């Protein structure tokens, strides 16, 4: 009888021990699930933060290209005439030079042709005054934001991009060509836009002496076959460390070095464009700054 009692006691002890082991295992499983859930939440939050930062960075020139905010485009198109007049031609070096060539047109309008590349720091600098000047004659849509290459001179210069851009104007037509991105693939900057045969011919014909100083320089800008410009009219280093929004905001302050460079260059481009449009619109072409800049346009 005592043996049966002893056996039953051992059985109960064994069952109790197994039950306790199962309970400990279940507690460990629940703990691991809880820890895993916390890790997942942390990863998800981290991912959301990274996405949020990446989204913001596109607007501040990080990534091959992004989309400009409507507020940025509005700012570039709403610089007061008083600011342009106060700046004049600022500290601009160079600018559009008049040439003798057949008219460059599209759809019955004088055509402005820009050819550059997103990696190029000088293109990065010159897109600003080209955009500001053209914004006095029409409206951009699809304007991009980007920066020059990180491994070139004046690295990561914040800028705009004409890739995929459309321009609407009753006075002018515009073609913006960005031949490559700012990122390398197999050691070469990745291709982006391809000029048409006609635009390539314009580039090859007029982007060399005696029309410009150095053959093949970018950015290259042809304004209606009447003026051409190659290279930058100010140093890209002036824009170092700035966001696109900061640059645009500075353009309204005539005392700003950025305004003196970009608005000053824009006045020269505007004066050249007014020659193409027969001084239309009058509200732009008759301003003191544009009239004065017209007398400073060079000849090749």
pLDDT top residue among 252 and 7: 252
What is residue 300's predicted lDDT score, i.e. its pLDDT?
A: 59
- The region of weakest confidence among 6-20, 67-81, 164-178 is 6-20
| pLDDT single digits (tens) 137-170 | 999 999 999 999 999 999 999 999 999 999 999 9
Burial of 296 (0-12, 13-18, 19+ CB in 10 A): middle
pLDDT per residue as tens digits for the range 235-262: 999 999 999 999 999 999 999 999 999 9
Cα 131 to Cα 76: distance, rounded to the nearest angstrom: 8
Predicted confidence band at 24 (pLDDT cuts at 50, 70, 90)?
low
Whole-number pLDDT of residue 74: 95
Q: How confident is the model at residue 58 (pLDDT cuts 50, 70, 90)?
A: very low
ω into 255 cis (within 30 of 0): no
Q: pTM (2 decimals)?
A: 0.79
Q: How does the average pLDDT of the chain come out, rounded?
A: 85
Which of 27-31, 43-47, 59-63, 194-198 is least confident? Answer: 43-47
- Measured distance CA(272)–CA(246) in Å, rounded: 27
- Give the residue among 65, 186, 189 at the shortest CA–CA distance from 119: 189
251 versus 94: the higher-pLDDT residue is 251
Task: Answer with the residue of higher pLDDT: 220 or 8.
Answer: 220
**66-82 residue pLDDT tens:** 788 889 999 999 999 99
User: Bigger pLDDT: 9 or 65?
Assistant: 65
Q: CA angle at residue 61 from 111 to 96, to 5 degrees?
A: 30
Q: Quick one: what percent of the chain has pLDDT higher than 70?
A: 78
pLDDT at 218 over 70: yes
Residue 35 pLDDT level (bands cut at 50, 70, 90): very low
Higher pLDDT, 182 or 43: 182
Tell me the average pLDDT across 120-126: 98
Beta strands in the chain (DSSP E): 66-67, 97-98, 105-106, 109-116, 139-141, 144-147, 158-161, 166-168, 173-178, 180-185, 188-191, 220-223, 227-230, 298-299
């Amino acid at each position: 009888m005592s043996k049966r009692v002893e056996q039953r006691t051992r059985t109960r002890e064994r069952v109790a021990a197994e039950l306790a082991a199962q309970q400990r295992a279940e507690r460990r499983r629940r703990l691991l699930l809880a820890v895993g859930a916390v890790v997942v939440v942390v990863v998800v939050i981290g991912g959301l933060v990274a996405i949020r930062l990446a989204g913001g960075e596109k607007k501040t020139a990080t990534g091959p290209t992004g989309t400009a905010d409507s507020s940025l485009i509005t700012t570039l198109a709403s610089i007061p005439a008083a600011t342009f007049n106060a700046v004049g031609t600022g500290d601009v070096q160079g600018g559009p030079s008049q040439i003798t060539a057949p008219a460059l047109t599209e759809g019955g309008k004088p055509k402005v042709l820009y050819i550059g590349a997103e990696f190029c720091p000088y293109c990065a600098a010159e897109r600003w005054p080209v955009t500001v000047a053209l914004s006095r004659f029409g409206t951009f849509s699809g304007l991009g934001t980007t920066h020059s290459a990180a491994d070139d001179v004046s690295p990561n210069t914040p800028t705009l991009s004409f890739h995929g851009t459309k321009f609407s104007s009753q006075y002018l037509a515009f073609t913006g060509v960005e031949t490559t991105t700012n990122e390398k693939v197999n050691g070469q900057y990745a291709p982006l836009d391809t000029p048409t045969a006609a635009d390539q011919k314009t580039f090859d014909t007029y982007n060399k002496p005696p029309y410009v100083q150095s053959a093949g320089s970018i950015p290259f800008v042809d304004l209606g076959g009447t003026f051409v410009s190659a290279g930058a009219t100010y140093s890209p280093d002036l824009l170092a460390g700035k966001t696109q929004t900061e640059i645009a905001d500075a353009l309204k302050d005539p005392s700003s070095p950025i305004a003196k460079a970009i608005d000053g260059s824009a006045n020269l481009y505007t004066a050249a464009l007014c020659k193409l449009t027969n001084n239309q619109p009058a509200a732009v072409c008759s301003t003191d700054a544009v009239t004065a800049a017209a007398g400073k346009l060079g000849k090749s």
